[in-house]
């Protein structure tokens, strides 16, 4: 039983009563203890009552502690050897000495309660090995702990250790008159542990997140995993201990093993790539499920696409190719933009199906090309993509020559004769009438024009605004739909479009290219 009395009132009498009360309670004298309590209360002094530590069970307990700081999501398990009579304040000091966390940074939670410094582990139900507690580590900024305060507290701990070690020293008188009899030297008690020397200052770096003092060679904090400060350098005088040497060797060995494993994996992937290069379809090597029909695929039953590594069954991939309306077949995964390779498509389809797919590709390419022209021979599949300086298309399939300007085949006739003949035949020939209608539509839509000199229909397929009539070789300005020069020919600005005369363009849409 221990008591603390505030310095007011009759302290001498209060001390005597408190001492007697402790003895009465310890010996079980109920009536005497009640009488002493009554007298002590009449003095109106502040007292505190606590139980002696030797009363608690002295067996060591292995306490399971989960440690977490403000930045980590998971806790770190730590095992502490404690006794049930230990107070929370003593527990904080133990953590500070063993792990370097200042007591002000520690918050202990036991049984869903925040433990106070004066509480004992026994009062929170910690009585056997395996009991659990939770320790939350505050940051130094949150706890308002400065480095100066931290250093002062460490210095006080060192001084306390020195004072504790000096308490066992007994001084004796010496010199003349010191006494006739010398008291015998005290016999040191047996089995008493020698006082611990004051801890030596440790070399290392303090974690900026949790303030834990790490060994100089550690690349990251041992407690919270934070990075070592970039400007920290390991002192030249520092000699790592055996544990550190072993850790460094293990880290180097682990790094070497990791690099070797990476190299081995690269070589295996390269060999696998070489082995699959000769295969048009890559089979799956693991059991999986087709994301389209949800059928289970044993190893070798599915197809792994080369571009995106998505796996499907052959039937679903084949259906994707056959039903595709694009020249390039996309991956069946709706979120994937990869395309199937030609070698994969060819392997999935039969010869007949592949031929139909190629024809579909050609039709799609023709319909989407801006400058495509289909051969005018009935039932001929020939077509071309023309350039601006090309006016004829010789079809290799039917061996006919198409006029790109007239959009027709007029063998043994020039464009003027054909167009004149077309006007005559259009009265009785339905096909000629359709061709004439196409040319007239082109004139109305601005896709063609009549030559200002010979009156045949000419067309600008692409390029600049300068064109030349194939029949009379007249230079024509496309935007103004008239001759480029005057009646005297090239260079005559008395007529024509008069482009750039007095630095003025011939038309607002003039591209200044003629």
Q: Which residues pair with 289 in a beta bridge?
A: 296
Stated as kind and residue range, the H or E segment containing 206 is strand 205-206
CA distance 85 to 491: 115
Burial call 454-488: b when 16+ CB within 10 Å, e when fewer: eebbbbbbeeebebebbbeebbbbbbbeebbbeee
Stated as kind and residue range, the H or E segment containing 110 is strand 106-110
Single out the residue of 331, 333, 328, 291 nearest to residue 313, CA to CA: 291
Q: Which of 464, 468, 472, 513 is catalytic?
A: 464
CA distance 288 to 286: 6
Stated as kind and residue range, the H or E segment containing 135 is strand 132-137
Q: How many helices (H) and strands (E) does the chain have?
A: 10, 23
Single out the residue of 75, 111, 81 nearest to residue 95, CA to CA: 81
User: DSSP code of 286?
Assistant: S
CA distance 240 to 237: 10
For the four alpha carbons of 289, 293, 294 and 297, in that order, the dihedral sign comes to negative
> 56: alpha, beta or left, given left = phi > 0 and alpha = psi -120 to 50?
beta
List Cβ neighbours of 119 (8 Å cut-off, separation of 6 or more): 87, 88
Single out the residue of 447, 454, 452 nearest to residue 496, CA to CA: 452
Active-site residue, 398 included: no
Stated as kind and residue range, the H or E segment containing 362 is helix 351-368
Stated as kind and residue range, the H or E segment containing 136 is strand 132-137
The 3-state DSSP class for residue 397 equals: coil
Residue 324: how many CB atoms within 10 A of its CB?
17
* Token code pair at residue 289: 């499920």
Active site residues per annotation = 464
């Amino acid at each position: 039983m221990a008591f603390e009395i505030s310095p007011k009132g009759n302290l001498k009498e209060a001390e005597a009563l408190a001492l007697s009360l402790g003895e009465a309670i310890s010996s079980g004298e109920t009536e005497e203890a009640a009488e002493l309590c009554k007298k002590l209360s009449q003095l109106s002094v502040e007292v505190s009552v606590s139980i002696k530590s030797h009363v608690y069970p002295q067996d060591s307990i292995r306490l399971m502690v989960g440690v977490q700081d403000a930045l980590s999501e998971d806790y770190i398990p730590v095992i502490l050897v404690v006794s049930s009579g230990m107070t929370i304040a003593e527990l904080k000091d133990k953590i500070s000495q063993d792990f370097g966390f200042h007591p002000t940074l520690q918050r202990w939670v036991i049984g869903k309660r925040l433990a106070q410094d004066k509480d004992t582990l026994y009062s929170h139900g910690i009585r056997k090995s395996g009991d659990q507690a939770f320790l939350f580590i505050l940051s130094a900024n949150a706890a308002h702990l400065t480095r100066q305060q931290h250093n002062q507290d460490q210095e006080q701990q060192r001084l306390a250790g020195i004072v504790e070690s000096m308490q066992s020293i007994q001084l004796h008188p010496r010199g003349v008159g010191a006494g006739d009899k010398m008291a015998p030297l005290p016999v040191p008690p047996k089995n008493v542990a020698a006082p611990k020397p004051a801890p030596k200052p440790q070399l290392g770096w303090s974690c900026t997140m949790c303030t834990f003092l790490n060994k100089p060679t550690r690349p990251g904090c041992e407690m919270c995993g934070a990075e070592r400060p970039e400007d920290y350098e390991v002192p030249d005088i520092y000699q790592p201990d055996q544990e550190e040497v072993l850790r460094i060797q293990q880290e180097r060995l682990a790094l070497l093993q990791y690099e070797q494993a990476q190299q081995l994996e690269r070589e295996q992937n390269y060999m696998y790539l070489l082995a699959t290069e000769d295969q048009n379809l890559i089979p799956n090597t693991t059991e999986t499920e087709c994301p389209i029909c949800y059928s289970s695929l044993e190893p070798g039953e599915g197809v792994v696409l080369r571009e995106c590594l998505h796996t499907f069954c052959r039937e679903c991939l084949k259906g994707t190719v056959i039903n595709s309306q694009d020249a390039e077949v996309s991956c069946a995964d709706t979120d994937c933009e990869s395309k199937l390779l030609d070698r994969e498509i060819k392997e999935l389809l039969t010869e007949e199906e592949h031929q139909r797919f190629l024809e579909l590709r050609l039709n799609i390419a023709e319909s989407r090309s801006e400058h495509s022209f289909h051969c005018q021979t009935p039932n001929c599949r020939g077509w071309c993509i023309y350039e601006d300086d090309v006016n004829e298309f010789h079809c290799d399939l039917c061996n006919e020559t198409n006029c790109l300007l007239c959009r027709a085949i007029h063998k043994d006739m020039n464009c003027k004769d054909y167009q004149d003949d077309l006007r005559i035949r259009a009265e009785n020939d339905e096909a000629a009438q359709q061709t004439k209608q196409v040319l007239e539509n082109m004139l109305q839509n601005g896709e063609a024009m009549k030559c200002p000199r010979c009156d045949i229909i000419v067309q600008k397929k692409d390029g600049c605004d300068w064109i030349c009539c194939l029949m009379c070789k007249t230079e024509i300005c496309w935007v103004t739909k008239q001759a480029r020069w005057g009646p005297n020919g090239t260079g005559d600005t008395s007529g024509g479009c008069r482009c750039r005369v007095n630095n003025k363009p011939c038309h607002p849409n003039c591209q200044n290219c003629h």
